[in-house]
């Protein structure tokens, strides 16, 4: 392909990368600065905020809540989402078209609408707001992410391998375990990692359906930003950004493995 | 017999998620529309009976202003996102495979990083005691009494920052499938680079541009944390009104009316998109290889 002569695309890309990472860099620098803001000068390297962070009981319990929700919602969503992806992929009737449309709409709908509608729904059922209502909300959007990821993977799945296994006398249990799962597993794992990341990060929906004693990490960050001391958020941000990087790398590796299989 | 068992199989694998989505997505969404038609009692709870009062209140000038602000902020930030995303996608597809992958991860990471932290990072950058304001004052670009935070431009900036990956990813996906030999053909036929870019490349990636536009515009319409955190009360958007009516000045039917308006706009947009796809089905586009 002929190289692009205009410099605009290169400089736009460079500018956007700077735009993406400069704020994160400022946060990272601030997190090692014992002073409050970098504007007040660099006061030497310090792990003070990190020590403060791990000693903060509220942060720890919010983290535990986030992990409980993240793991349980992901586990449930993996089952629902994988089944949904198979249903949509295997059957092409009207019902599955509606199914697909619902999953896609869920991805696109602003969080605030989902938060409000679920809150009103829980209130009308007289359900007590807490970890369980957060779990129900998170499973809903996580299912959508898992289904879409697995569906992308299924599009490369060769169903003739199933036929071949059947012709060779394999039972369904063996086909599922030895033929389907190994081919679909990277998609499912990538979907699960994505769902877990999104669940841990979600703030808006959680904020509407959380109750006393079920503060998650995001809700806690929000309350720290609104009132109180935002300084330890810097340290927390750095940790979360690093975790996100690892997750993104892992998901990317899992999803691109398909190219090697085909080649 | 075979047909019957196929139907049963379909039921078994699709029922769990269909049921879940119906209970926790479809029913709550539809009930928001219904609640918005009920009157509220003095505590903001839902009363029986039907009324259009909740929607009439939205027509008041104060609220119309907020609706317009929401629309123009979303429109401007969508435009900026798409205008920035096209050259980035154009640059990325020309890169080596390894660089492409690296750039892709670098675009995905901010998109998956905790949303509040991204907003917080901007607050740290633009903070009165932060580095940027310090330098700008020293370089005499701004006067010492200028605040960088709490204005409409910062809201726009942070919305663009937050949703830019949503625009880049679909536009990149479309550009990646684009057949660049069409550009060469245009050059050979005497087209300038500019003309080839606007007449061949842009129409060729139109599906990505439409997807990117919707993926920025729709969530931008629902912005709530960004105007609250970096904008202050003079930058309230519809999302802030919904949150306020639900969480603070409790009025459930009015909150539902606001949510319904937002929902209706989004359904309208998606409906338009769907009609467009259906119409396009009957048109022949050489660069899509007949696919839609």
Best CA proximity match to B80, nearest among A107, A11, A25, A16: A16
Residue B242 main-chain phi, psi, to 5 deg:
-60, -50
Which pLDDT does position A259 carry in this prediction? 46
3-state helix, strand, coil in chain B (%, to 5): 75, 0, 25
Terminal C-alpha separation, chain B: 36
Domain ranges for chain A, please list them. 57-262
Which pLDDT does position A261 carry in this prediction? 44
Name the residue facing B116 among A12, A116, A225 (closest C-beta). Answer: A225
Q: CA of A222 to nearest chain B CA: how many angstroms apart?
A: 7
Identify whether the C-beta of residue B40 lies closer than 8 Å to the C-beta of residue B242: no
Q: What is the ipTM of this complex?
A: 0.85
Classify B60-288 by CATH class. Answer: mainly alpha
Q: CA of B88 to nearest chain A CA: how many angstroms apart?
A: 5
Residues 6 or more apart in contact with residue B33 via CB below 8 angstroms: B256, B260, B263
CB contact under 8 A, A9 and B266: no
According to CATH, what is the number of the domain A57-262? 1.10.3720.10
Residues 6 or more apart in contact with residue B203 via CB below 8 angstroms: B287
Q: Please report residues of B whose CB lies closer than 8 A to that of A32.
A: none
Which pLDDT does position A263 carry in this prediction? 32
The DSSP output letter for B229 is: I
CA distances in angstroms from A116 to A60, B30, B167, B259, listed in the order given: 28, 12, 26, 8
**CA quadruple B207, B209, B215, B221: dihedral positive or negative?**
negative
Q: Please report residues of B whose CB lies closer than 8 A to that of A23.
A: 118, 121-122, 124-125, 161
Task: Give the pLDDT band (50/70/90) at residue A172.
Answer: confident
Which pLDDT does position B287 carry in this prediction? 47
- Give the whole-angstrom CA distance, residue A154 versus residue A86: 8
Give the chain B residue whose CA is nearest to the CA of A222: B116
Domain ranges for chain B, please list them. 60-288
DSSP string, A93-146: SHHHHHHHHHHHHHHHS-HHHHHHHHHHHHHHTTPPPSHHHHHHHHHHHHHHHH
pLDDT in tens, A121-146: 999 899 999 999 999 999 999 999 99
Residues 6 or more apart in contact with residue A65 via CB below 8 angstroms: A131, A214, A215, A216, A217
Which pLDDT does position A42 carry in this prediction? 67
Which pLDDT does position A37 carry in this prediction? 53
Terminal C-alpha separation, chain A: 22
Name the residue facing B106 among A1, A17, A240 (closest C-beta). Answer: A17
Which pLDDT does position A257 carry in this prediction? 64
CB contact under 8 A, A201 and B10: no
CB contact under 8 A, B116 and A222: yes
- Give the whole-angstrom CA distance, residue B252 versus residue B269: 26
Which pLDDT does position B74 carry in this prediction? 95
Secondary structure class of B201 (helix, strand, coil): helix
Q: Please report residues of B whose CB lies closer than 8 A to that of A36.
A: 129
CB atoms within 10 A of CB A102: 20
Identify whether the C-beta of residue A63 lies closer than 8 Å to the C-beta of residue A71: no
Q: CA of B280 to nearest chain A CA: how many angstroms apart?
A: 19
Best CA proximity match to A53, nearest among A233, A188, A219: A233
Q: CA of B113 to nearest chain A CA: how many angstroms apart?
A: 6
CB contact under 8 A, B114 and A9: no
Count of A–B CB contacts within 8 Å? 255
Name the residue facing B14 among A96, A114, A248 (closest C-beta). Answer: A96
Which pLDDT does position A140 carry in this prediction? 96
Task: Provide the mean pLDDT of chain A.
Answer: 86
Name the residue facing A39 among B134, B187, B193 (closest C-beta). Answer: B134
CB contact under 8 A, B32 and A136: no
- Give the whole-angstrom CA distance, residue B55 versus residue A76: 38
What b/e sequence results for B140-160 when a residue is b if at least 16 CB atoms lie within 10 Å of its CB, and e otherwise?
eeeeeeeebbebbebbbbbbb
Name the residue facing B180 among A1, A119, A124 (closest C-beta). Answer: A1
Residues 6 or more apart in contact with residue A126 via CB below 8 angstroms: none
Q: CA of B203 to nearest chain A CA: how many angstroms apart?
A: 18
Best CA proximity match to A137, nearest among A182, A82, A57, A72: A72
Name the residue facing B10 among A3, A87, A108 (closest C-beta). Answer: A87
Which pLDDT does position A175 carry in this prediction? 87
Residues 6 or more apart in contact with residue A138 via CB below 8 angstroms: A69, A70, A73, A77, A199, A202, A205, A206
- Give the whole-angstrom CA distance, residue B15 versus residue B29: 20
- Give the whole-angstrom CA distance, residue B8 versus residue B14: 10
Helix (H) / strand (E) containing A28: helix A8-31
* CA max distance for chain B: 82
DSSP string, A166-222: HHTT--HHHIIIIIIHHHHHHHHHHHHHHHHHHHHH--HHHHHH--TT---HHHHHH
**CA quadruple B59, B62, B67, B72: dihedral positive or negative?**
positive
Per-residue model confidence as pLDDT tens for chain B (292 residues):
566 787 888 888 889 999 999 999 999 999 999 998 888 887 778 878 788 888 888 888 888 999 999 999 999 999 999 999 999 999 999 888 889 888 988 888 887 888 888 888 888 888 777 777 777 877 877 777 777 788 889 999 999 999 999 899 999 989 988 888 888 888 889 888 888 888 889 998 988 999 899 989 999 999 999 999 888 778 889 999 999 888 887 888 889 999 999 999 888 888 887 777 777 666 544 444 444 3
Treating both helix axes as pointing N-terminal to C-terminal, what angle do A94-108 and A57-90 enclose, rounded to 10 degrees? Answer: 150
Which pLDDT does position A78 carry in this prediction? 96
Q: Please report residues of B whose CB lies closer than 8 A to that of A244.
A: 109, 112-114
Which pLDDT does position B80 carry in this prediction? 97
CB atoms within 10 A of CB B65: 11
pLDDT in tens, A28-86: 888 888 776 545 566 678 788 888 888 888 889 999 999 999 999 999 999 999 999 99
- pLDDT of A3 strictly over 60: no
Q: CA of A22 to nearest chain B CA: how many angstroms apart?
A: 9
């Amino acid at each position: 392909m002929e190289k692009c002569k205009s410099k605009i695309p290169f400089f736009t890309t460079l500018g956007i990368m700077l735009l993406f990472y400069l704020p994160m860099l400022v946060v990272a620098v601030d997190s090692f600065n014992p002073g409050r803001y970098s504007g007040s000068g660099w006061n030497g390297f310090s792990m003070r905020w990190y020590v403060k962070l791990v000693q903060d009981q509220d942060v720890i319990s919010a983290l535990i809540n986030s992990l409980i929700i993240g793991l349980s919602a992901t586990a449930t969503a993996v089952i629902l989402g994988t089944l949904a992806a198979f249903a949509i992929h295997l059957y092409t009737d009207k019902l599955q078209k509606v199914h697909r449309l619902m999953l896609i709409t869920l991805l696109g709908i602003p969080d605030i609408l989902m938060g409000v509608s679920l809150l009103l729904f829980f209130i009308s059922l007289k359900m007590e707001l807490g970890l369980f209502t957060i779990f129900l909300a998170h499973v809903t959007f996580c299912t959508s992410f898992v289904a879409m990821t697995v569906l992308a993977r299924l599009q490369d799945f060769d169903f003739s391998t199933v036929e071949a296994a059947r012709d060779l006398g394999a039972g369904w249990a063996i086909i599922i375990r030895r033929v389907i799962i190994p081919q679909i597993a990277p998609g499912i794992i990538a979907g699960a990692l994505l769902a877990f990341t999104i669940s841990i990060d979600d703030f808006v929906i959680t904020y509407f359906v959380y109750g006393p004693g079920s503060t998650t990490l995001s809700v806690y960050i929000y309350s720290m930003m609104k009132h109180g001391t935002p300084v330890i958020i810097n340290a927390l941000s750095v940790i979360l950004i690093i975790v996100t990087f690892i997750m993104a790398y892992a998901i990317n590796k899992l999803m691109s493995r398909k190219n090697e299989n085909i080649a | 017999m075979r047909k019957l068992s196929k139907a049963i199989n379909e039921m078994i694998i699709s029922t769990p998620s269909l049921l879940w989505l119906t209970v926790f997505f479809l029913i709550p969404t539809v009930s928001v529309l219904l609640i918005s038609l009920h009157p509220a009692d003095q505590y903001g709870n839902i009363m029986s009976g039907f009324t259009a009062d909740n929607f009439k209140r939205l027509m008041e000038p104060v609220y119309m202003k907020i609706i317009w602000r929401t629309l123009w902020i979303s429109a401007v930030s969508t435009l900026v996102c798409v205008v920035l995303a096209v050259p980035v996608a154009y640059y990325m597809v020309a890169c080596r495979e390894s660089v492409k992958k690296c750039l892709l991860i670098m675009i995905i990471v901010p998109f998956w990083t905790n949303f509040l932290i991204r907003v917080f990072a901007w607050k740290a950058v633009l903070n009165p005691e932060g580095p940027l304001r310090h330098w700008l004052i020293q370089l005499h670009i701004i006067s010492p009494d200028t605040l960088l935070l709490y204005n409409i431009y910062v809201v726009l900036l942070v919305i663009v920052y937050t949703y830019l990956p949503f625009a880049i990813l679909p536009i990149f996906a479309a550009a990646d499938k684009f057949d660049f030999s069409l550009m060469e053909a245009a050059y050979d036929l005497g087209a300038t680079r500019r003309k080839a870019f606007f007449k061949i490349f842009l129409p060729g990636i139109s599906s990505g541009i439409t997807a990117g536009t919707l993926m920025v515009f729709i969530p931008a319409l629902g912005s709530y944390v960004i105007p609250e955190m970096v904008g202050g009360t003079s930058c309230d958007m519809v999302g802030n009104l919904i949150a306020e009516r639900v969480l603070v000045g409790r009025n459930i039917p009015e909150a539902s009316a606001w949510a319904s308006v937002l929902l209706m706009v989004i359904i309208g947009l998606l409906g338009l998109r769907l009609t467009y796809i259906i119409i396009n089905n009957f048109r022949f586009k050489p660069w899509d290889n007949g696919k839609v």
